[in-house]
Structure 1
Amino acid sequence: MAQRRILVVAAHPDDEILGMGGTIAKHALHESAEVAVLWVSEGSSTQYPGDEQIAQQKFREAEAAAKTLGVTHCMQRTLPDMRLDTVGHVEVNRVVEEAVDEFGPDTVYTVHPDVNLDHRTVFRSVMVATRPYAGSSVRRVLSYATTSGIEWTPPFEASFAPNVFVDVTATIEDKVSAFSCYQTETRPWPHPRSSRAIRANAESWGSGVGWAYAEPFVLIRELRT
């Protein structure tokens, strides 16, 4: 059987850990899949304007977190943080399409279109980049929920109704350890970007499906031969 190739698309460095760090570790460390992460934006210029040192630190944090989870390919792009809605749709499409063409994944995970406009922009571009066509490697597309974004989305907008759940009981500590690499993003409890909140969120989803810890996803598309 061919080795699985999985691409995780994030609008910002840390989306991937908050949303599906346990699942990334499961794919890479327990299932021997080849996992790549694409960060579409540079992730710091709005929060830390003009601070190149912080920008470099955040990328080092992102790479360290990815390595903790067994990610083999890190793709950092430099579109403007928290301003992706000001970038031409075709330009964001190009960034995602190039990553898909370069890595050739069979499965693509994308951040869910929640209250964050960058997340919505990236989601739309992933839908373009993964549309089915003859010769495409992509067979499954799923969205993941980034905490401190998904829970603040108004109910009349893009709600998150998961229909796929992954048991991350064996990898929840990998997720917590990976997020601890993001010193620029870690916050004290009860903020959702705290280690306690990360465990509590996974515990809550797990209790609903009979596991100690779980991560939820929305299956967007699956092609079966």
Structure 2
Amino acid sequence: MSSRRILVVAAHPDDEILGMGGTIAKHALHEGAEVTVLWVSEGSSAQYPGDHQIAERKFAEAEAAAKLLGVSRCIQSGLPDMRLDTLPHIEVNKPIESAVREIRPDTVYTVHPDVNVDHRTVFRSVMVATRPYSTSVRRILTYATTSGVEWTPPFESSFAPTWFSNISSTIDAKVAAFDCYTTETRPWPHPRSARAIRATAESWGTWAGWECAEPFVLVRELSD
């Protein structure tokens, strides 16, 4: 059993599956790592204002998807969807700092600061929460959330991956996990369709010589 502790920070429920569902499954199911997923926003009030039923349904979908991937623990912060930039920076920092203190992860994955403002806000807060002199975190990587990262202008934190994860053996788990998100799935050729998720993984796989891969940007790694 691995002693690794991994924290995956998502701005919204489903970011983690789209960006790195195959890698989560690899860490949790194949390597025996303890994986925690933190959802910073509630992920539905902007799209479905006032609909508390769909908010509860989306979290149920998120937890079902996490269970399929072997996630040990899910944390829901409940901050306002698509409005994280309207909050004081310290309010977004708090749930992330709390998770880092409690879990003491060696690796943190966070959503890449792409065209989505919530993604950029969460990324900045992760960088505050993982300062090396005060945490156990040795490695930080960003993942690409499809239907967000591909629309980011090249002069605004464009995604240029430097680290790849072979998910050839876990792509089916990733697709099955996203199928749990019935509130978010869309028909092909939308990037939030099962066919697009598989095609994207295959495309990234060609970069590294594997059948399927997920790309990341290595932000920082500390080596003793």
Q: Per the shorter chain, which TM-score range?
A: over 0.9
Letter in 1 for 2:97: E
User: Equivalents in 2 of 1:208, 1:55: separation in Å?
Assistant: 37
Partner of residue 74, structure 2: 74
Which residue is 2:155 aligned to?
156
Q: What stretches of structure 1 of length at least 5 have no aligned partner? A: none
Q: Which residue pairs with 1:115 in the alignment?
A: 115
Write the letter of the residue equivalent to 1:181. C
Distance 2:169 2:8 in 1: 20
What does 1:166-181 align with in structure 2 at a 5 Å threshold? 166-181=165-180
Alignment-derived partner of residue 195 in structure 2: 196
Task: Give the equivalent residue in structure 2 for 1:102.
Answer: 102
Q: CA deviation at 1:208?
A: 1.4
Q: In the TM superposition, what are the counterparts of 1:1-225 in structure 2 within 5 Å?
A: 3-134=3-134, 136-225=135-224
Point out where structure 2 has 5 or more consecutive residues left out of the alignment: none
- In the TM superposition, residue 159 of structure 1 has moved relative to its aligned partner by 0.7
Separation (CA, whole Å) in 2 of partners of 1:202 and 1:2: 26
Q: CA deviation at 1:192?
A: 0.2
Backbone CA RMSD of aligned residues = 0.9
How far 1:83 sits from its partner (Å)? 0.5
Provide the rounded CA distance (Å) in 2 between the counterparts of 1:53 and 1:193: 22
Deviation at 1:209, TM superposition (A): 1.1
1:78-101 CA deviation, whole Å, 9 max, x = no partner? Answer: 100000000110110111101111
User: What CA distance in whole angstroms lies between the structure 1 residues aligned with 2:104 and 2:66?
Assistant: 19
CA contact (8 A) 2:13 2:62 kept: yes
For residues 3 and 174 of structure 2, the distance between their equivalents in structure 1, rounded to whole angstroms, comes to 23
Give structure 1 regions of 4+ aligned residues with deviation exceeding 3 angstroms: none
> Which letter does structure 2 place at the counterpart of 1:41?
S
CA contact (8 A) 2:3 2:34 kept: yes
Deviation sequence 1:165-217 (CA, Å, 0-9, x none): 00000000000000000000000000000000000000000011100000000
Once the two structures are TM-superposed, the CA of residue 2 in structure 1 deviates from its matched residue by 6.0
1:56 and 1:90 mapped to 2: Cα distance? 26
What amino acid does structure 2 have at the position aligned with 1:188? Answer: P
Q: Residues 33 and 2 from structure 1, CA distance in 2 versus in 1: closer, same or farther, beyond 3 angstroms?
A: closer
In the alignment of these two chains, the number of paired residues is 224
In structure 1, C-alpha distance between the alignment counterparts of 2:19 and 2:142, rounded to whole Å: 9
CA distance in 2, matches of 1:2, 1:51: 41
Q: Distance in 2 between matches of 1:190 and 1:147?
A: 12
* 1:62-113 CA-partner distances (Å, limit 9, x unpaired): 0000000000110011100000000110110111101111111000000000
**Under a length normalisation based on structure 2, what TM-score does the superposition of the two structures give?**
0.99
Paired residue secondary structure (1:208): helix
**Amino acid in the other structure paired with 1:50:** G
